[in-house]
């Protein structure tokens, strides 16, 4: 049976689902809207998680865990928060065969349960800051789901910090969106635009929401991570006060920030092609796959010690690899299989290669094959992987630049975003204007970029003069 996928040009949505399933990242579960993350997909998530966790700890954060069941009354304490999440809540009404005195919400996010605890832990400025991150699952009752991008249950991390001053909390929220940008670009090889969300698009309960927005392969935008300055909203809702250095009682300032398994979907759509996944070396479960080629035991006895010598050198370099020694499958099938799974480098070794002291090295990104000596390979394999990582980011930066247009009229906005693509525009419109544009064109303001030109221009929609530029796009 063919392992091919639907071409992107034919049906991008079907292509995406094909890749998720045929690369064995995830599968549909018996529970509608949920997915089962398969070992290869989970290994990818583990690499995302491990690198992010290291970055969080390097910036002074520590991990903790809070219950997934939250008293319903907690959510109602912060009005904007509960209003924003109400349609997505899953509620437990019975436990142990009895009706609960108070319904429990399965966490859609953990601000409320965490701030109820911070009230117990914070008394003085000496208790601040609190810099906690949680790796967990959340449930949001989604109507339209797509594996990794939007599912009823998903995995994520959520950071929740408490500070003595607004300046510290704002600095924290900016710092963490910067961490996400660093990770997206330097690990995922996915260029992002960093900016502020509009009032319409910001997180329920936040003063400001900061975002990283990426362009997918079909030129639509994907919100890939957010960081929120929460002001004193949750502190006031849960009466979290501290004694400052002047012995005055004051409400605590807060931030929260998170990314999720949506990043796996982002990787698929940023880099994938009609052969399947293309994974950046820094995150790929296997950076290399070795395919020994032999037809009989005599050839096998020649090839396998040679392969073992190569893997010893890979071990010494700390690289992740897999030797595909499945004897019931042809080399061609294996090549296609690992192309589907996006492994950056494929190494082919047959008896003739052993005799010549060489090996065949195939790059997933370019498809090019090269015959190199074993010595060359050992000396250059790390550089080869680094070069692939660099090329992946560079090509996607070029792709985004090519598909980002500066627009000066409503008609230009429609044309620029009709089939995907980013439209950069001067903007002085209201929230109602923004809603109207979304209803008419299905595009939204993805963000107000941190990086602004500083020039004055005319808003394409209102005709007002402004120095603010925004990015409009259709999004996932």
Q: How confident is the model at residue 79 (pLDDT cuts 50, 70, 90)?
A: low
The stretch 286-305 carries a mean pLDDT of 96
Closest by Cα among 135, 139, 161 to 150:
139
Rounded Cα distance between 222 and 70, Å, is 29
Fold of domain 12-271: BirA Bifunctional Protein; domain 2 (3.30.930)
Region of residue 247 (phi > 0: left; psi between -120 and 50: alpha; otherwise: beta):
left
| pLDDT, position 144 | 84
Start-end of CATH 3.40.50.800 domains in the chain: 288-385
pLDDT above 70 coverage of the chain, percent: 98
Break the chain down into helix, strand, coil percent, rounded to 5: 40, 30, 35
The stretch 320-346 carries a mean pLDDT of 96
State how far the alpha carbon of 330 is from the alpha carbons of 292, 303, 337, 469, in Å: 11, 16, 11, 55
- Which runs of consecutive H residues, i.e. helices, occur in 122-215? 166-186
Residue 129: is the preceding peptide bond cis (ω within 30°)? yes
Sheet with 98-106: strands ordered across: 69-71, 98-106, 90-95
Please give the mean pLDDT across all residues of the chain: 95
Q: SS3 of 462, please?
A: coil
Q: Which residues contact 164 (CB under 8 A, 6 or more apart)?
A: 125, 128, 129, 242, 244, 250, 252, 253
Rounded Cα distance between 141 and 150, Å, is 10
Start-end of CATH 3.30.930.10 domains in the chain: 12-271
Q: SS3 of 203, please?
A: coil
Rounded Cα distance between 267 and 216, Å, is 9
Looking from the CA of 350 toward its CB, the CA atoms found within 13 Å total 8
Tell me which of 79-83, 170-174, 233-237, 472-476 is least confident.
79-83
The enclosing H or E element of 425 equals: strand 422-426
- Which runs of consecutive H residues, i.e. helices, occur in 369-430? 374-402, 410-417
Q: pLDDT per residue over 4-33, tens digit each?
A: 899 999 999 999 999 999 999 999 999 999
CATH 3.30.110.30 fits 404-473, yes or no: yes
| pLDDT, position 397 | 98
Start-end of CATH 3.30.110.30 domains in the chain: 404-473
Q: Which residues pair with 70 in a beta bridge?
A: 105
Closest by Cα among 294, 266, 92, 97 to 189:
266
How many CB atoms sit inside 10 A of residue 318's CB?
7
The stretch 434-444 carries a mean pLDDT of 97
8 Å CB contact between 291 and 347 = yes
The stretch 118-143 carries a mean pLDDT of 96
Q: pLDDT per residue over 234-281, tens digit each?
A: 899 899 999 999 999 999 999 999 999 999 999 999 999 999 999 999
Q: Which residues pair with 432 in a beta bridge?
A: none
| pLDDT, position 81 | 62
Does this model's pTM top 0.75? My answer is yes
The stretch 344-353 carries a mean pLDDT of 97
| pLDDT, position 1 | 37
| pLDDT, position 142 | 82
The stretch 354-360 carries a mean pLDDT of 97
Rounded Cα distance between 285 and 420, Å, is 31
Is pLDDT above 70 for 198?
Answer: yes
| pLDDT, position 145 | 87
CATH 3.40.50.800 fits 288-385, yes or no: yes
| pLDDT, position 275 | 97
Is pLDDT above 50 for 2?
Answer: no
Closest by Cα among 217, 210, 206, 304 to 267:
217
Q: pLDDT per residue over 370-411, tens digit each?
A: 999 999 999 999 999 999 999 999 999 999 999 999 999 999
The stretch 44-55 carries a mean pLDDT of 98
Sole residue written with tokens 């927005």: 213
Sole residue written with tokens 């290994």: 43
Rounded Cα distance between 73 and 82, Å, is 10
Sole residue written with tokens 């692939």: 388
């Amino acid at each position: 049976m063919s392992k091919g996928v639907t071409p992107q040009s034919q049906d991008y949505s079907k292509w995406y689902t094909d890749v998720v399933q045929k690369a064995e990242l995830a599968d549909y579960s018996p529970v509608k809207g949920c997915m089962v993350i398969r070992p290869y997909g989970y290994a990818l998530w583990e690499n995302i998680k491990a690198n992010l966790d290291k970055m969080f700890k390097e910036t002074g954060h520590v991990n903790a865990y809070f219950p997934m069941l939250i008293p319903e009354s907690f959510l109602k304490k912060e009005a904007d928060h509960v209003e924003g999440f109400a349609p997505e809540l899953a509620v437990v009404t019975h436990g142990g065969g009895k009706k609960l005195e108070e319904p429990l919400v399965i966490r859609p996010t953990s601000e409320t349960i965490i701030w109820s605890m911070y009230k117990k832990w914070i008394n003085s400025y000496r208790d601040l800051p609190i810099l906690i991150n949680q790796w967990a699952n959340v449930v949001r009752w989604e109507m339209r789901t797509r594996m990794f991008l939007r599912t009823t249950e998903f995995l994520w991390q959520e950071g929740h910090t408490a500070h003595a001053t607004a300046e510290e909390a704002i600095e924290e929220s900016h710092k963490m969106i910067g961490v996400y940008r660093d990770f997206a670009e330097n690990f995922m090889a996915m260029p992002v635009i960093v900016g502020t969300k509009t009032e319409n698009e910001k997180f329920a309960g936040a003063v400001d929401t900061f975002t990283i927005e990426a362009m997918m392969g079909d030129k639509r935008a994907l919100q890939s991570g957010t960081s929120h300055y929460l002001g004193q909203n949750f502190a006031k809702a849960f009466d979290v006060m501290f004694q400052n250095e002047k012995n005055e009682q004051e409400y605590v300032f807060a931030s929260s920030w998170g990314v999720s398994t949506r990043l796996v979907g982002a990787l698929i759509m940023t880099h994938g092609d009609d052969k399947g996944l293309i994974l950046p070396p820094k995150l790929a479960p296997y950076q290399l796959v070795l395919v020994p080629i032999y037809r009989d035991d005599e050839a096998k006895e020649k090839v396998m010690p040679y392969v073992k010598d190569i893997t010893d050198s890979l071990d010494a370099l700390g690289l992740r690899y897999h030797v595909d020694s499945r004897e019931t499958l042809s080399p061609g099938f294996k090549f296609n299989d690992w192309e589907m799974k996006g492994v950056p480098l494929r190494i082919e070794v047959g008896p003739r290669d052993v005799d010549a002291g060489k090996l065949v090295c195939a790059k997933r990104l370019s498809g090019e094959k090269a015959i190199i000596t074993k010595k060359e390979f050992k000396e250059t394999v790390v550089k080869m992987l680094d070069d692939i990582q660099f090329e992946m980011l560079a090509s996607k930066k070029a792709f985004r630049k090519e598909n980002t247009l500066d627009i000066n009229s409503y008609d230009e906005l429609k044309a620029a975003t009709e089939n995907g693509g980013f439209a950069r525009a001067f903007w002085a419109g209201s929230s109602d204007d923004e809603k109207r544009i979304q209803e008419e064109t299905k595009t939204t303001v993805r963000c107000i970029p941190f990086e602004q030109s500083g020039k004055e221009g005319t808003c394409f929609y209102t005709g007002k003069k402004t120095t603010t530029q925004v990015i409009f796009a259709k999004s996932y």
